[in-house]
Amino acid sequence: MQEFKKFSRLFLAILMLLPLAGCNWVVMAPSGDIAVQQRDLILVSVVLMLLIIVPVMFLTLLFAWHYRQANVTAKYDPEWHHSMRLEIIIWAAPLAIIIALGAVTWISTHKLDPYRQLDRIDAERAIPTGTKPITVQVVALDWKWLFFYPDLGIATVNEMAAPVDTPINFQITSSSVMNSFYIPALAGQVYAMPGMQTPLHAVINKAGDYEGLSANFSGPGFSHMRFKFHGLDKAGFDQWVASVKEKGTALNTDAYLKLEKPSQKEPVRYYASAEKDLYHRILNMCAAPGKMCTDEMMHIDMTGGAGKESHENLDKLKIQASPIDEFGSANFKEAAVETPVVPEKKDAGDMKGMDMSKMPGMSHDNTDAAKPSTK
């Protein structure tokens, strides 16, 4: 009977672990060198912390067992209050762990900086001389991903590819709200922000199909903001590029402005060509005709401003996002925006008897604050 109980407990434990067999531990089994180094950093950090956690947990159980009430042989010393040996162990061990963690973190922070150019293909191979990286410009839209390949003249939606063992230079931005670009098998997440460009340097070392996603909540369509990343050999990548050019259409300003509108579960799209400066205008928030680019505005500011004529730039700098409902749909009539009525300037004498609570920006809560002090 006792053996049956032990067997049943073991069987139950195995059953509880079975669901974990279907888990995809992609973060702990990555296919890109940057992600591998990040995985190693996680493992080193966990091991260093366990050097303290495991002994503390073991000693806690040991002390509880040794000094239990039934153990009359345990030494009872209520006057004990200090031990230099214990003090050294208690403080020296955690201090050593903190120093080790600090050193590992300092080195890894600089070595795994997404701005830093790659210096190797993997742990055993350096980048061959003359290797040309592939550039991919990434735009986070609502709620899909747009990829430009400026050197190839193509673009895709919710699908990208790269040749194995070739450095990838990502240039990442967003068209509206802040987002996060993440391919767990390739490298850690990097934020995509409107009006800004964030670089990421990575390399994929194993051929395969990997999942990319948004790691930052950005609205109703966030959970479906996923894409496929294909790691291909040289021949496979060339074939993929040829397929994009064969099946794709043209990505011009009009096509982009339609694509930019919020939508969910967007299918994969191919563009055989893309306007040469479209990514630059998206980055500088001037994709729509008649808008002033932020780099133009910065140039005006750097040269001392536009003087009295600067008011003409106001409309060119206004950014109007597409309206959406609670389901993320943009296909509804835009609500009219009520323009506040600003009263004409009056003299002090004309202000007498005026109801201050009806003025724009004034409420019943702040009318008293507007009254002149009698002190």
Domain boundary among 257, 283, 309: 283
Alpha helices by DSSP H, listed for the chain, are: 2-17, 33-66, 84-111, 234-247, 253-260, 278-283, 294-302, 314-317, 367-370
pTM: 0.75
Q: Which of 141, 142, 139, 120 is nearest to 131 (CA)?
A: 120
Instruction: Look at residue 252 and tell me if it is in a domain.
Output: yes
Report the range of poorest mean pLDDT among 4-18, 218-232, 314-328, 347-361: 347-361
Q: Is residue 293 within 8 Å of residue 287, measured between CB atoms?
A: no
Instruction: Look at residue 141 and tell me if it is in a domain.
Output: yes
Q: Which of 131, 119, 135, 115 is nearest to 200 (CA)?
A: 115
Longest distance between any two alpha carbons in the chain, whole Å: 101
Residue 152, phi then psi, degrees to nearest 5: -105, -15
Q: Is residue 149 within 8 Å of residue 168, measured between CB atoms?
A: no
Highest mean pLDDT among 1-10, 146-155, 325-334, 363-372: 146-155
In terms of domains, do 100 and 155 share one?
A: no
Q: Provide the residue range defining the domain that includes 61.
A: 26-67+87-112
Give tens-digit pLDDT for 191-229. 999 999 999 999 999 999 999 999 999 888 889 999 999
Domain boundary among 263, 283, 303: 283
**Residue carrying structure tokens 């350096």:** 126
The encoded tokens of residue 362 equal 């004034």
| Count of domains forming the chain | 2
Report the pLDDT value the prediction gives residue 27, as an integer from 0 to 100. Answer: 87
Q: Which amino acid is at 314?
A: L
Give tens-digit pLDDT for 256-310. 999 999 999 999 999 999 999 999 999 999 998 888 888 888 877 777 766 666 6
